[in-house]
Amino acid sequence: MHLHHTYDLSFRPSRYGDGLALGERVTIARIAMYEEPNSVALEATLTAKGWRYAFTNPFGWRLAPGRERSRDPLSLGELIASLESARVADGEDAWLMSPICGGFNLLPGDPPLAVQREHLRRATQFPVPASPLYPRLREWYADQHDAWLDRHLIECMELREQA
């Protein structure tokens, strides 16, 4: 997979917040879910042994982060791995960070690849995470979304050629 940028996945904030007492929590990332006005939040609670992670959300979804505890704040790579392994345990049992692509078909004829790609982008909804503690998180996911679009578009074009 080709990413547009280079990322330091070992980046780790020195702390999640100043002056937190045991039991206090702080939001470390928010994920805008598709076209919903609300977001899912990943929160860290300070414990005697470090940090405990949990999701909060307005949808009533049962969610568990991929990583439930850590001694120190998560690195960018650990945060991404935790988000990527989080599942929605209600109903469809889906990955939290999965894109939703509804009713996409390649445009007829032979329009330029950029036109087909934009058509696919409009048909696809991606969860969009962001965090003031991890300034490159949103950009990393934007690159992942671009790579997903490229892979999906190539697959669609190959299927059309085989038909």
* H-assigned helices in 21-136: 76-84, 113-123
Please give the pLDDT value at position 127: 86
Kindly list the distances between the CA atom of residue 72 and the CA atoms of 8, 34, 38, 127, in Å, as whole numbers in the listed order: 17, 31, 29, 26
Q: What is the mean pLDDT of residues 9-31?
A: 94
Q: How far apart are CA 48 and CA 26, in angstroms?
A: 15
pTM, full prediction: 0.82
Please give the pLDDT value at position 4: 60
**Average pLDDT over the chain, rounded to whole?**
85
Please give the pLDDT value at position 126: 82
